[in-house]
Amino acid sequence: MEFKFLLYSRALISLSSFSSSKFFKTFDKRFD
């Protein structure tokens, strides 16, 4: 149970960081 939660949180963090980096890339292009 604990391992599953750790894996889930890790996936969530990587997903959020990926989406945020993608968002900032488009944000930078807009204000280039």
Whether pTM exceeds 0.85 = no
Segment (H or E) for 29: helix 2-30
Return the pLDDT at 32: 58
pLDDT digits (tens, 9 = 90+) for 1-32: 788 999 999 999 998 888 888 877 877 777 65
